[in-house]
Protein backbone atom coordinates (compact mmCIF):
# COMPACT_ATOMS: atom_id res chain seq x y z
CA UNK A 1 0.00 0.00 0.00
CA UNK A 2 1.44 3.39 -0.89
CA UNK A 3 0.10 5.07 2.20
CA UNK A 4 -0.50 3.08 5.38
CA UNK A 5 -2.74 5.79 6.83
CA UNK A 6 -5.27 5.44 4.10
CA UNK A 7 -6.55 2.00 5.12
CA UNK A 8 -5.46 1.88 8.76
CA UNK A 9 -8.99 1.97 10.28
CA UNK A 10 -10.91 -0.34 8.03
CA UNK A 11 -8.13 -2.38 6.62
CA UNK A 12 -10.25 -5.37 5.60
CA UNK A 13 -13.08 -3.34 4.15
CA UNK A 14 -10.66 -1.34 2.15
CA UNK A 15 -8.99 -4.43 0.76
CA UNK A 16 -12.33 -5.70 -0.44
CA UNK A 17 -13.23 -2.33 -1.88
CA UNK A 18 -9.98 -1.97 -3.72
CA UNK A 19 -10.47 -5.50 -5.06
CA UNK A 20 -13.86 -4.41 -6.39
CA UNK A 21 -12.36 -1.36 -8.04
CA UNK A 22 -9.62 -3.44 -9.58
CA UNK A 23 -12.25 -5.41 -11.48
CA UNK A 24 -14.78 -2.60 -12.04
CA UNK A 25 -15.60 -1.60 -15.63
CA UNK A 26 -15.60 2.07 -14.57
CA UNK A 27 -12.36 4.01 -14.45
CA UNK A 28 -11.17 5.41 -11.14
CA UNK A 29 -8.13 7.54 -10.37
CA UNK A 30 -7.21 9.03 -7.01
CA UNK A 31 -4.97 12.04 -7.01
CA UNK A 32 -3.53 14.70 -4.76
CA UNK A 33 -5.70 17.75 -5.15
CA UNK A 34 -2.84 20.22 -4.64
CA UNK A 35 -0.15 18.68 -6.80
CA UNK A 36 -2.66 16.98 -9.18
CA UNK A 37 -0.53 13.87 -9.26
CA UNK A 38 -2.08 10.45 -9.67
CA UNK A 39 -1.76 8.18 -6.68
CA UNK A 40 -3.90 5.28 -7.80
CA UNK A 41 -5.45 4.26 -11.14
CA UNK A 42 -7.56 1.13 -11.55
CA UNK A 43 -7.14 -1.13 -14.63
CA UNK A 44 -10.17 0.44 -16.38
CA UNK A 45 -8.55 3.86 -16.01
CA UNK A 46 -5.27 2.46 -17.37
CA UNK A 47 -7.13 1.12 -20.41
CA UNK A 48 -8.82 4.47 -20.95
CA UNK A 49 -5.50 6.32 -20.70
CA UNK A 50 -3.83 3.69 -22.89
CA UNK A 51 -0.98 3.07 -20.49
CA UNK A 52 0.07 1.01 -17.45
CA UNK A 53 -0.54 1.58 -13.77
CA UNK A 54 3.19 1.98 -13.24
CA UNK A 55 3.34 4.72 -15.86
CA UNK A 56 0.37 6.51 -14.31
CA UNK A 57 1.71 6.39 -10.79
CA UNK A 58 2.80 9.97 -10.00
CA UNK A 59 1.82 11.27 -13.45
CA UNK A 60 0.10 14.66 -13.86
CA UNK A 61 -3.68 14.11 -13.88
CA UNK A 62 -4.33 16.82 -16.47
CA UNK A 63 -1.92 15.28 -18.96
CA UNK A 64 -3.07 11.65 -19.19
CA UNK A 65 -6.47 11.80 -20.93
CA UNK A 66 -5.71 13.94 -24.01
CA UNK A 67 -6.07 17.59 -24.83
CA UNK A 68 -9.87 17.81 -24.82
CA UNK A 69 -9.90 16.57 -21.21
CA UNK A 70 -7.37 19.08 -19.91
CA UNK A 71 -9.57 22.25 -19.71
CA UNK A 72 -12.55 20.24 -18.43
CA UNK A 73 -10.57 18.63 -15.62
CA UNK A 74 -8.76 21.82 -14.70
CA UNK A 75 -12.00 23.77 -14.47
CA UNK A 76 -13.59 21.03 -12.36
CA UNK A 77 -10.63 21.10 -9.99
CA UNK A 78 -10.83 24.85 -9.70
CA UNK A 79 -14.54 24.67 -8.83
CA UNK A 80 -13.91 21.96 -6.23
CA UNK A 81 -11.03 23.81 -4.62
CA UNK A 82 -13.03 26.98 -4.36
CA UNK A 83 -15.24 24.99 -1.99
CA UNK A 84 -18.47 26.05 -3.71
CA UNK A 85 -19.34 22.56 -4.89
CA UNK A 86 -18.81 19.10 -3.50
CA UNK A 87 -18.72 17.23 -6.78
CA UNK A 88 -18.61 18.12 -10.46
CA UNK A 89 -20.32 16.14 -13.20
CA UNK A 90 -18.15 15.59 -16.24
CA UNK A 91 -18.74 14.84 -19.88
CA UNK A 92 -15.85 14.95 -22.37
CA UNK A 93 -13.85 13.17 -25.07
CA UNK A 94 -10.74 11.17 -24.31
CA UNK A 95 -8.30 11.55 -27.18
CA UNK A 96 -5.15 9.48 -26.90
CA UNK A 97 -2.90 9.47 -29.99
CA UNK A 98 -3.31 6.34 -32.14
CA UNK A 99 -6.36 5.11 -30.17
CA UNK A 100 -10.02 5.60 -31.03
CA UNK A 101 -11.65 8.55 -29.40
CA UNK A 102 -13.89 7.69 -26.44
CA UNK A 103 -16.73 9.64 -24.97
CA UNK A 104 -16.86 9.57 -21.16
CA UNK A 105 -19.13 10.80 -18.45
CA UNK A 106 -18.31 10.88 -14.77
CA UNK A 107 -17.67 12.91 -11.69
CA UNK A 108 -14.85 14.44 -9.75
CA UNK A 109 -14.88 15.07 -6.04
CA UNK A 110 -12.53 15.69 -3.16
CA UNK A 111 -12.80 13.22 -0.30
CA UNK A 112 -11.31 13.58 3.16
CA UNK A 113 -8.95 10.72 4.02
CA UNK A 114 -7.89 11.81 7.49
CA UNK A 115 -8.15 14.96 9.53
CA UNK A 116 -5.52 16.62 7.41
CA UNK A 117 -5.44 14.76 4.18
CA UNK A 118 -7.73 14.94 1.24
CA UNK A 119 -7.67 13.06 -2.02
CA UNK A 120 -9.22 13.86 -5.34
CA UNK A 121 -11.27 11.11 -6.98
CA UNK A 122 -11.95 11.00 -10.70
CA UNK A 123 -14.57 8.46 -11.64
CA UNK A 124 -15.37 7.93 -15.35
CA UNK A 125 -17.45 5.59 -17.45
CA UNK A 126 -17.30 5.04 -21.15
CA UNK A 127 -20.50 6.14 -22.93
CA UNK A 128 -19.16 5.97 -26.49
CA UNK A 129 -21.61 3.31 -27.76
CA UNK A 130 -24.62 5.17 -26.39
CA UNK A 131 -23.38 8.41 -27.88
CA UNK A 132 -22.81 6.83 -31.25
CA UNK A 133 -26.37 5.52 -31.27
CA UNK A 134 -27.65 8.87 -30.12
CA UNK A 135 -25.66 10.71 -32.79
CA UNK A 136 -26.92 8.33 -35.41
CA UNK A 137 -30.49 8.78 -34.24
CA UNK A 138 -30.12 12.52 -34.10
CA UNK A 139 -28.68 12.51 -37.64
CA UNK A 140 -31.46 10.29 -38.94
CA UNK A 141 -34.07 12.50 -37.28
CA UNK A 142 -32.50 15.64 -38.72
CA UNK A 143 -32.46 14.11 -42.20
CA UNK A 144 -36.07 12.97 -41.85
CA UNK A 145 -37.01 16.45 -40.69
CA UNK A 146 -35.21 17.94 -43.70
CA UNK A 147 -37.11 15.67 -46.06
CA UNK A 148 -40.48 16.52 -44.50
CA UNK A 149 -39.79 20.22 -44.02
CA UNK A 150 -38.53 20.68 -47.55
CA UNK A 151 -41.25 18.63 -49.20
CA UNK A 152 -43.56 20.43 -51.63
CA UNK A 153 -46.36 18.15 -50.39
CA UNK A 154 -48.07 19.83 -47.47
CA UNK A 155 -47.57 18.14 -44.08
CA UNK A 156 -48.84 19.49 -40.75
CA UNK A 157 -48.04 17.99 -37.34
CA UNK A 158 -49.94 18.91 -34.20
CA UNK A 159 -49.85 18.07 -30.51
CA UNK A 160 -52.76 16.42 -28.72
CA UNK A 161 -54.68 19.71 -28.43
CA UNK A 162 -54.32 20.47 -32.14
CA UNK A 163 -51.64 23.14 -31.70
CA UNK A 164 -49.41 23.08 -34.76
CA UNK A 165 -45.89 21.84 -34.05
CA UNK A 166 -44.64 21.39 -37.61
CA UNK A 167 -45.70 23.19 -40.77
CA UNK A 168 -43.60 22.30 -43.79
CA UNK A 169 -42.80 24.23 -46.96
CA UNK A 170 -45.71 22.64 -48.86
CA UNK A 171 -48.14 23.69 -46.13
CA UNK A 172 -46.74 27.22 -46.25
CA UNK A 173 -47.28 27.38 -50.00
CA UNK A 174 -50.80 25.94 -49.81
CA UNK A 175 -52.17 27.94 -46.89
CA UNK A 176 -50.21 31.20 -47.25
CA UNK A 177 -48.82 31.27 -43.69
CA UNK A 178 -45.16 30.88 -42.72
CA UNK A 179 -44.19 28.18 -40.24
CA UNK A 180 -43.02 30.89 -37.82
CA UNK A 181 -46.52 32.39 -37.82
CA UNK A 182 -48.34 29.18 -36.94
CA UNK A 183 -46.04 26.80 -35.06
CA UNK A 184 -47.02 26.98 -31.39
CA UNK A 185 -49.46 29.80 -32.19
CA UNK A 186 -52.36 28.34 -34.10
CA UNK A 187 -54.63 25.34 -33.96
CA UNK A 188 -55.07 23.15 -37.02
CA UNK A 189 -58.83 23.62 -36.46
CA UNK A 190 -58.37 27.23 -37.66
CA UNK A 191 -57.71 25.96 -41.17
CA UNK A 192 -60.85 23.86 -41.48
CA UNK A 193 -64.22 25.06 -42.57
CA UNK A 194 -66.86 25.08 -39.81
CA UNK A 195 -66.86 21.98 -37.64
CA UNK A 196 -64.91 19.84 -40.07
CA UNK A 197 -61.90 19.43 -37.76
CA UNK A 198 -64.00 17.60 -35.18
CA UNK A 199 -65.46 15.38 -37.87
CA UNK A 200 -61.97 14.53 -39.12
CA UNK A 201 -60.85 13.57 -35.60
CA UNK A 202 -63.95 11.39 -35.11
CA UNK A 203 -63.17 9.58 -38.34
CA UNK A 204 -59.48 9.19 -37.46
CA UNK A 205 -60.44 7.48 -34.21
CA UNK A 206 -63.02 5.27 -35.89
CA UNK A 207 -61.83 2.01 -37.44
CA UNK A 208 -63.64 2.28 -40.76
CA UNK A 209 -61.55 4.70 -42.84
CA UNK A 210 -58.15 3.06 -43.14
CA UNK A 211 -57.97 1.59 -39.62
CA UNK A 212 -58.08 2.96 -36.11
CA UNK A 213 -55.83 5.97 -35.77
CA UNK A 214 -55.72 6.51 -39.53
CA UNK A 215 -57.96 8.41 -41.90
CA UNK A 216 -57.22 7.98 -45.56
CA UNK A 217 -58.19 10.13 -48.52
CA UNK A 218 -60.80 12.15 -46.74
CA UNK A 219 -62.23 15.01 -48.80
CA UNK A 220 -62.27 18.32 -46.99
CA UNK A 221 -62.08 22.05 -47.54
CA UNK A 222 -59.21 24.06 -46.07
CA UNK A 223 -59.24 27.83 -45.74
CA UNK A 224 -56.15 29.79 -46.78
CA UNK A 225 -54.85 33.09 -45.50
CA UNK A 226 -56.71 34.92 -48.27
CA UNK A 227 -59.91 33.07 -47.24
CA UNK A 228 -59.81 30.93 -50.39
CA UNK A 229 -61.53 27.55 -49.99
CA UNK A 230 -59.22 24.80 -51.20
CA UNK A 231 -60.60 21.31 -51.80
CA UNK A 232 -58.15 18.69 -50.53
CA UNK A 233 -57.65 15.04 -49.80
CA UNK A 234 -56.45 14.41 -46.27
CA UNK A 235 -54.56 11.47 -44.86
CA UNK A 236 -54.35 11.85 -41.09
CA UNK A 237 -52.46 9.62 -38.66
CA UNK A 238 -52.77 9.74 -34.88
CA UNK A 239 -49.47 9.90 -33.03
CA UNK A 240 -49.17 8.03 -29.73
CA UNK A 241 -46.86 8.51 -26.75
CA UNK A 242 -45.01 5.64 -24.99
CA UNK A 243 -47.99 4.91 -22.80
CA UNK A 244 -50.32 4.63 -25.79
CA UNK A 245 -52.05 7.97 -25.19
CA UNK A 246 -52.82 10.35 -28.05
CA UNK A 247 -49.87 12.66 -28.56
CA UNK A 248 -50.98 14.49 -31.68
CA UNK A 249 -51.63 14.08 -35.39
CA UNK A 250 -49.76 14.24 -38.64
CA UNK A 251 -51.76 15.28 -41.71
CA UNK A 252 -50.66 14.75 -45.29
CA UNK A 253 -52.55 17.05 -47.63
CA UNK A 254 -53.22 16.71 -51.34
CA UNK A 255 -54.42 19.83 -53.15
CA UNK A 256 -57.32 18.87 -55.44
CA UNK A 257 -57.66 22.13 -57.36
CA UNK A 258 -55.64 20.89 -60.32
CA UNK A 259 -57.59 17.62 -60.51
CA UNK A 260 -60.90 19.46 -60.28
CA UNK A 261 -59.89 21.89 -63.02
CA UNK A 262 -59.09 18.91 -65.26
CA UNK A 263 -62.45 17.33 -64.42
CA UNK A 264 -64.22 20.57 -65.24
CA UNK A 265 -62.46 20.85 -68.59
CA UNK A 266 -63.27 17.23 -69.40
CA UNK A 267 -66.91 17.89 -68.62
CA UNK A 268 -66.84 20.95 -70.84
CA UNK A 269 -65.40 18.98 -73.74
CA UNK A 270 -68.02 16.28 -73.16
CA UNK A 271 -70.74 18.91 -73.26
CA UNK A 272 -69.34 20.26 -76.51
CA UNK A 273 -69.32 16.78 -78.01
CA UNK A 274 -72.90 16.17 -76.92
CA UNK A 275 -73.82 19.57 -78.34
CA UNK A 276 -72.18 18.85 -81.69
CA UNK A 277 -73.93 15.49 -81.81
CA UNK A 278 -77.28 17.05 -80.98
CA UNK A 279 -76.76 19.69 -83.65
CA UNK A 280 -76.04 17.03 -86.23
CA UNK A 281 -79.24 15.07 -85.43
CA UNK A 282 -81.29 18.24 -85.28
CA UNK A 283 -79.81 19.23 -88.62
CA UNK A 284 -81.03 16.00 -90.20
CA UNK A 285 -84.46 16.37 -88.67
CA UNK A 286 -84.69 20.01 -89.72
CA UNK A 287 -83.64 19.17 -93.25
CA UNK A 288 -86.35 16.50 -93.50
CA UNK A 289 -89.09 18.76 -92.16
CA UNK A 290 -87.98 21.76 -94.20
CA UNK A 291 -87.91 19.73 -97.34
CA UNK A 292 -91.43 18.41 -96.77
CA UNK A 293 -92.82 21.87 -95.97
CA UNK A 294 -91.05 23.59 -98.83
CA UNK A 295 -93.24 22.08 -101.53
CA UNK A 296 -96.66 22.84 -99.98
CA UNK A 297 -95.39 26.33 -99.17
CA UNK A 298 -94.41 26.77 -102.79
CA UNK A 299 -97.98 25.76 -103.70
CA UNK A 300 -99.53 28.26 -101.25
CA UNK A 301 -97.34 31.07 -102.60
CA UNK A 302 -98.06 30.20 -106.21
CA UNK A 303 -101.83 29.91 -105.84
CA UNK A 304 -101.98 32.84 -103.46
CA UNK A 305 -100.18 34.93 -106.10
CA UNK A 306 -102.61 33.77 -108.78
CA UNK A 307 -105.56 34.60 -106.55
CA UNK A 308 -104.18 38.10 -105.94
CA UNK A 309 -103.84 38.66 -109.68
CA UNK A 310 -107.48 37.60 -110.21
CA UNK A 311 -108.90 39.83 -107.48
CA UNK A 312 -110.03 43.31 -108.30
CA UNK A 313 -108.15 46.18 -106.59
CA UNK A 314 -111.39 47.16 -104.87
CA UNK A 315 -112.14 43.64 -103.64
CA UNK A 316 -112.28 43.62 -99.78
CA UNK A 317 -110.82 40.05 -99.69
CA UNK A 318 -107.64 41.33 -101.30
CA UNK A 319 -105.94 42.36 -98.02
CA UNK A 320 -106.65 38.91 -96.52
CA UNK A 321 -105.05 37.13 -99.46
CA UNK A 322 -102.14 39.56 -99.33
CA UNK A 323 -101.66 38.63 -95.69
CA UNK A 324 -101.70 34.92 -96.58
CA UNK A 325 -98.99 35.45 -99.18
CA UNK A 326 -96.83 37.52 -96.81
CA UNK A 327 -97.04 35.01 -93.99
CA UNK A 328 -96.26 32.19 -96.40
CA UNK A 329 -93.19 34.14 -97.52
CA UNK A 330 -92.09 34.47 -93.93
CA UNK A 331 -92.48 30.70 -93.54
CA UNK A 332 -90.39 30.21 -96.62
CA UNK A 333 -87.62 32.36 -95.17
CA UNK A 334 -87.60 30.27 -92.02
CA UNK A 335 -87.55 27.09 -94.05
CA UNK A 336 -84.64 28.43 -96.08
CA UNK A 337 -82.69 29.23 -92.92
CA UNK A 338 -83.43 25.72 -91.74
CA UNK A 339 -82.10 24.31 -94.96
CA UNK A 340 -79.01 26.47 -94.58
CA UNK A 341 -78.54 25.13 -91.09
CA UNK A 342 -79.09 21.56 -92.11
CA UNK A 343 -77.09 21.40 -95.27
CA UNK A 344 -74.23 23.46 -94.02
CA UNK A 345 -73.60 24.32 -97.61
CA UNK A 346 -70.16 25.49 -98.36
CA UNK A 347 -70.48 28.82 -100.10
CA UNK A 348 -68.02 30.62 -102.24
CA UNK A 349 -65.26 32.09 -100.08
CA UNK A 350 -63.04 35.11 -100.56
CA UNK A 351 -60.80 37.37 -98.46
CA UNK A 352 -62.98 39.41 -96.14
CA UNK A 353 -62.19 42.54 -94.17
CA UNK A 354 -64.13 42.00 -90.93
CA UNK A 355 -64.11 45.70 -89.94
CA UNK A 356 -65.66 46.60 -93.29
CA UNK A 357 -68.23 43.79 -93.06
CA UNK A 358 -69.19 45.03 -89.60
CA UNK A 359 -69.56 48.61 -90.86
CA UNK A 360 -71.86 47.50 -93.67
CA UNK A 361 -74.02 45.57 -91.23
CA UNK A 362 -74.31 48.50 -88.89
CA UNK A 363 -75.24 50.80 -91.73
CA UNK A 364 -78.14 48.55 -92.65
CA UNK A 365 -79.29 47.99 -89.08
CA UNK A 366 -78.63 51.48 -87.73
CA UNK A 367 -81.63 52.93 -89.48
CA UNK A 368 -84.03 50.71 -87.53
CA UNK A 369 -86.21 52.32 -84.88
CA UNK A 370 -84.90 50.06 -82.09
CA UNK A 371 -81.45 51.58 -82.54
CA UNK A 372 -82.49 55.14 -81.77
CA UNK A 373 -81.54 55.18 -78.10
CA UNK A 374 -78.56 52.90 -78.37
CA UNK A 375 -75.07 54.30 -78.29
CA UNK A 376 -72.65 52.38 -80.46
CA UNK A 377 -68.97 52.55 -79.50
CA UNK A 378 -66.24 51.18 -81.75
CA UNK A 379 -62.79 50.02 -80.77
CA UNK A 380 -61.74 48.40 -84.00
CA UNK A 381 -58.13 47.40 -84.64
CA UNK A 382 -56.40 49.02 -87.60
CA UNK A 383 -54.76 46.77 -90.14
CA UNK A 384 -56.84 43.77 -89.21
CA UNK A 385 -55.63 40.77 -91.23
CA UNK A 386 -58.12 39.56 -93.84
CA UNK A 387 -59.91 36.30 -93.22
CA UNK A 388 -61.21 33.87 -95.80
CA UNK A 389 -64.95 33.41 -95.84
CA UNK A 390 -68.30 34.05 -97.38
CA UNK A 391 -69.04 37.78 -96.91
CA UNK A 392 -72.82 37.48 -96.81
CA UNK A 393 -72.72 34.61 -94.30
CA UNK A 394 -70.32 36.52 -92.10
CA UNK A 395 -72.60 39.56 -92.25
CA UNK A 396 -75.48 37.29 -91.34
CA UNK A 397 -73.64 36.23 -88.17
CA UNK A 398 -72.92 39.85 -87.24
CA UNK A 399 -76.51 40.85 -87.91
CA UNK A 400 -77.86 38.05 -85.73
CA UNK A 401 -75.64 38.96 -82.83
CA UNK A 402 -76.27 42.69 -83.09
CA UNK A 403 -80.04 42.16 -83.39
CA UNK A 404 -80.00 39.97 -80.31
CA UNK A 405 -78.01 42.60 -78.39
CA UNK A 406 -80.39 45.36 -79.36
CA UNK A 407 -83.40 43.19 -78.49
CA UNK A 408 -81.84 42.36 -75.13
CA UNK A 409 -81.25 46.03 -74.29
CA UNK A 410 -84.83 46.75 -75.24
CA UNK A 411 -83.88 49.87 -77.15
CA UNK A 412 -81.71 51.50 -74.52
CA UNK A 413 -78.04 51.03 -73.67
CA UNK A 414 -74.61 50.79 -75.19
CA UNK A 415 -73.23 48.42 -77.77
CA UNK A 416 -69.44 48.13 -77.81
CA UNK A 417 -67.92 46.74 -80.99
CA UNK A 418 -64.31 45.64 -80.81
CA UNK A 419 -61.95 43.78 -83.08
CA UNK A 420 -58.39 42.57 -82.88
CA UNK A 421 -56.03 39.76 -83.63
CA UNK A 422 -54.27 37.19 -81.54
CA UNK A 423 -50.92 36.41 -83.16
CA UNK A 424 -50.15 33.46 -80.89
CA UNK A 425 -53.44 31.73 -81.66
CA UNK A 426 -53.33 32.90 -85.27
CA UNK A 427 -56.86 34.30 -85.10
CA UNK A 428 -58.84 37.49 -85.72
CA UNK A 429 -61.81 38.28 -83.52
CA UNK A 430 -64.77 40.62 -83.38
CA UNK A 431 -66.66 41.11 -80.14
CA UNK A 432 -70.07 42.57 -79.32
CA UNK A 433 -70.72 43.74 -75.76
CA UNK A 434 -74.13 44.93 -74.68
CA UNK A 435 -75.44 46.43 -71.47
CA UNK A 436 -78.54 44.23 -71.51
CA UNK A 437 -79.79 41.98 -68.70
CA UNK A 438 -77.37 39.13 -69.44
CA UNK A 439 -78.29 35.43 -69.31
CA UNK A 440 -78.65 32.82 -66.62
CA UNK A 441 -76.43 29.74 -66.88
CA UNK A 442 -79.46 27.71 -67.97
CA UNK A 443 -80.21 30.01 -70.91
CA UNK A 444 -76.53 30.38 -71.82
CA UNK A 445 -76.23 26.62 -72.22
CA UNK A 446 -79.07 26.41 -74.72
CA UNK A 447 -78.74 29.50 -76.92
CA UNK A 448 -77.13 27.62 -79.80
CA UNK A 449 -79.94 25.09 -79.98
CA UNK A 450 -82.20 25.56 -82.98
CA UNK A 451 -85.59 26.97 -81.98
CA UNK A 452 -84.40 27.93 -78.52
CA UNK A 453 -85.74 31.38 -77.80
CA UNK A 454 -86.85 33.33 -74.78
CA UNK A 455 -88.70 35.82 -76.92
CA UNK A 456 -92.46 36.03 -77.16
CA UNK A 457 -94.12 33.93 -79.86
CA UNK A 458 -93.87 35.71 -83.17
CA UNK A 459 -90.82 37.75 -82.11
CA UNK A 460 -88.08 35.17 -82.38
CA UNK A 461 -87.72 31.78 -84.01
CA UNK A 462 -84.61 30.82 -82.04
CA UNK A 463 -82.67 30.14 -85.21
CA UNK A 464 -80.32 33.17 -85.22
CA UNK A 465 -77.56 31.78 -83.04
CA UNK A 466 -77.79 28.17 -84.18
CA UNK A 467 -77.31 29.37 -87.74
CA UNK A 468 -74.47 31.64 -86.70
CA UNK A 469 -72.88 28.72 -84.87
CA UNK A 470 -72.99 26.59 -87.98
CA UNK A 471 -71.64 29.36 -90.16
CA UNK A 472 -68.72 29.87 -87.80
CA UNK A 473 -68.05 26.11 -87.80
CA UNK A 474 -67.96 26.15 -91.58
CA UNK A 475 -65.39 28.92 -91.39
CA UNK A 476 -63.38 26.80 -88.93
CA UNK A 477 -63.93 29.55 -86.44
CA UNK A 478 -65.66 29.80 -83.13
CA UNK A 479 -68.37 31.77 -81.41
CA UNK A 480 -67.96 32.38 -77.69
CA UNK A 481 -70.23 33.93 -75.12
CA UNK A 482 -69.65 35.50 -71.74
CA UNK A 483 -72.75 36.51 -69.87
CA UNK A 484 -74.08 36.75 -66.38
CA UNK A 485 -77.42 37.99 -65.16
CA UNK A 486 -77.21 41.73 -64.57
CA UNK A 487 -73.80 42.07 -66.18
CA UNK A 488 -74.57 42.30 -69.89
CA UNK A 489 -73.36 39.95 -72.57
CA UNK A 490 -70.34 39.67 -74.82
CA UNK A 491 -70.34 37.55 -77.95
CA UNK A 492 -66.99 37.00 -79.63
CA UNK A 493 -66.57 35.48 -83.05
CA UNK A 494 -63.14 34.13 -83.85
CA UNK A 495 -61.76 33.38 -87.31
CA UNK A 496 -58.56 31.56 -88.19
CA UNK A 497 -56.13 33.60 -90.25
CA UNK A 498 -54.07 32.14 -93.08
CA UNK A 499 -50.38 31.87 -92.20
CA UNK A 500 -49.21 34.63 -94.55
CA UNK A 501 -51.83 37.10 -93.31
CA UNK A 502 -51.06 36.92 -89.61
CA UNK A 503 -50.28 40.08 -87.68
CA UNK A 504 -46.94 40.64 -85.97
CA UNK A 505 -46.74 39.23 -82.46
Among 43, 162, 213, 460, binds ligand ATP (CB under 6 A): 460
| Angstrom distance (rounded) from CA 481 to CA 288 | 30
User: Is 435 an interacting residue with respect to Mg ion (CB under 5 A)?
Assistant: no
Look up residue 62 and give its DSSP letter.
G
Q: Which residue is nearest to Mg ion (CB)?
A: 464
User: Is 447 an interacting residue with respect to ligand ATP (CB under 6 A)?
Assistant: yes
Q: What is the 3-state secondary structure (H, E, C) of 285-314?
A: HHHHHHHHHHHHHHHHHHHHHHHHHHCCCC
Nearest distance from C-beta of residue 237 to Mg ion, angstroms: 60
- What residues between 336 and 395 interact with Mg ion by CB under 5 A? none
Among 390, 419, 433, 489, binds ligand ATP (CB under 6 A): 489
Length of the chain (residues) = 505
Question: For residues 175 and 463, which CB has a smaller minimum distance to ligand ATP in the complex?
Answer: 463
Q: What is the dihedral of CA 202, 203, 204, 210, to 10 degrees?
A: 160
Among 463, 471, 494, 497, binds ligand ATP (CB under 6 A): 463
Among 404, 431, 461, 470, binds Mg ion (CB under 5 A): 404
Answer with the entry of ligand ATP, Mg ion, none that 455 interacts with (C-beta below 5 to 8 A by kind). Answer: ligand ATP
User: Is 231 an interacting residue with respect to ligand ATP (CB under 6 A)?
Assistant: no
**Strand order across the 87-94 sheet:** 38-41, 27-31, 118-126, 102-112, 87-94
Answer with the entry of ligand ATP, Mg ion, none that 492 interacts with (C-beta below 5 to 8 A by kind). Answer: none
Interface stretch with ligand ATP, choices 35-43, 179-187, 414-422, 458-466 (CB under 6 A): 458-466
Three-state secondary-structure class, residue 6? helix
What are φ and ψ of residue 119, in 5° steps? -130, 145
Interface stretch with Mg ion, choices 44-52, 404-412, 414-422, 435-443 (CB under 5 A): 404-412
Indicate the pairing of strand 413-422 with strand 374-379.
Answer: parallel
- What residues between 180 and 209 interact with ligand ATP by CB under 6 A? none
Nearest distance from C-beta of residue 459 to ligand ATP, angstroms: 7
- What residues between 42 and 71 interact with ligand ATP by CB under 6 A? none
Answer yes or no: are the C-beta atoms of 157 and 179 closer than 8 Å: no
Give me the 407-446 binding string for ligand ATP, x by CB under 6 A, dash otherwise. -x-------------------------x-x--x---x---
Answer yes or no: are the C-beta atoms of 401 and 432 closer than 8 Å: yes
Interface stretch with Mg ion, choices 203-211, 224-232, 398-406, 437-445 (CB under 5 A): 398-406
Question: For residues 168 and 404, which CB has a smaller minimum distance to ligand ATP in the complex?
Answer: 404
Nearest distance from C-beta of residue 475 to ligand ATP, angstroms: 18
- What residues between 437 and 476 interact with Mg ion by CB under 5 A? 464
User: Is 436 an interacting residue with respect to Mg ion (CB under 5 A)?
Assistant: no
Answer yes or no: are the C-beta atoms of 98 and 85 closer than 8 Å: no
CB atoms within 10 A of CB 486: 7
User: Is 490 an interacting residue with respect to ligand ATP (CB under 6 A)?
Assistant: no
Question: For residues 304 and 464, which CB has a smaller minimum distance to ligand ATP in the complex?
Answer: 464
* Best CA proximity match to 108, nearest among 31, 14, 44: 31
Question: For residues 419 and 468, which CB has a smaller minimum distance to Mg ion in the complex?
Answer: 468
Question: For residues 51 and 454, which CB has a smaller minimum distance to ligand ATP in the complex?
Answer: 454
Measure CA of the first residue to CA of the last residue in the chain; give whole Å: 103
How far CA 39 is from CA of 5, 95, 107, in Å, comes to: 14, 22, 17
| Angstrom distance (rounded) from CA 434 to CA 45 | 97
Question: For residues 251 and 404, which CB has a smaller minimum distance to Mg ion in the complex?
Answer: 404
Among 452, 473, 474, 478, binds ligand ATP (CB under 6 A): 452
Answer yes or no: are the C-beta atoms of 237 and 250 closer than 8 Å: yes
What are φ and ψ of residue 167, in 5° steps? -150, 100
For residue 275, list its beta bridge partners. Answer: none
CB atoms within 10 A of CB 156: 26
Give me the 363-402 binding string for ligand ATP, x by CB under 6 A, dash otherwise. -------------------------------------x--
Question: For residues 56 and 479, which CB has a smaller minimum distance to ligand ATP in the complex?
Answer: 479
Answer yes or no: are the C-beta atoms of 120 and 61 closer than 8 Å: yes
Three-state secondary-structure class, residue 78? helix
Nearest distance from C-beta of residue 173 to Mg ion, angstroms: 48
| Angstrom distance (rounded) from CA 229 to CA 207 | 28
Interface positions with ligand ATP (CB under 6 A): 400, 404-405, 408, 434, 436, 439, 443, 447, 452-455, 460-466, 489
Interface positions with Mg ion (CB under 5 A): 404, 464
Amino acid sequence: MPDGGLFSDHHRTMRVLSGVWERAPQALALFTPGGRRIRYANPAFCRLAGTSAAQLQGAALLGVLGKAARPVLSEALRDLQSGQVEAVALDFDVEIPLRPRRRVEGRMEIVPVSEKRRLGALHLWDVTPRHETEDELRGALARLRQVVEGSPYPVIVTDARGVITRFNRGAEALLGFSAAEVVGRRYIQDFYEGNAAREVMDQVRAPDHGGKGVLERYEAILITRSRERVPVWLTVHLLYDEKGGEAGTVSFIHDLRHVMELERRLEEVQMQLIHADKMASLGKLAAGVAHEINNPLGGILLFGGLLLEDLDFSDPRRSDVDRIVQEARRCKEIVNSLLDFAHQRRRYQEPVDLNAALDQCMELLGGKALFHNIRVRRELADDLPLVVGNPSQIKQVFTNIVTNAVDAMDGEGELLLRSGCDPTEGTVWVSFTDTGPGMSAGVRQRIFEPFFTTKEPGKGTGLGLSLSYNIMRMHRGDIRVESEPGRGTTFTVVFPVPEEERCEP
